[in-house]
Structure 1
Amino acid sequence: MSEISEHSPHDKLIRMANQIAAFFRSQPGQPEIAVAGHINDFWTYRMRMDLLAALRAGEPVDPIVQATAPHIRLPHETTEGVKPVDPLSHQE
Structure 2
Amino acid sequence: MNTSDSRSTAPAALQDALLSVLTKAGSGTLSAPEIAHALAPEGDWHGLLVPIRRAAVELALAGRLVIYRKGKPADPNDFRGVYRLGLPRHD
TM-score range, shorter chain: 0.3 to 0.5
Bigger RCO (CA 8 Å, 6+ sep): 1
TM-score (norm 2): 0.44
* Bigger radius of gyration among the two: 1
Structure whose residues are more often helix by fraction? 1
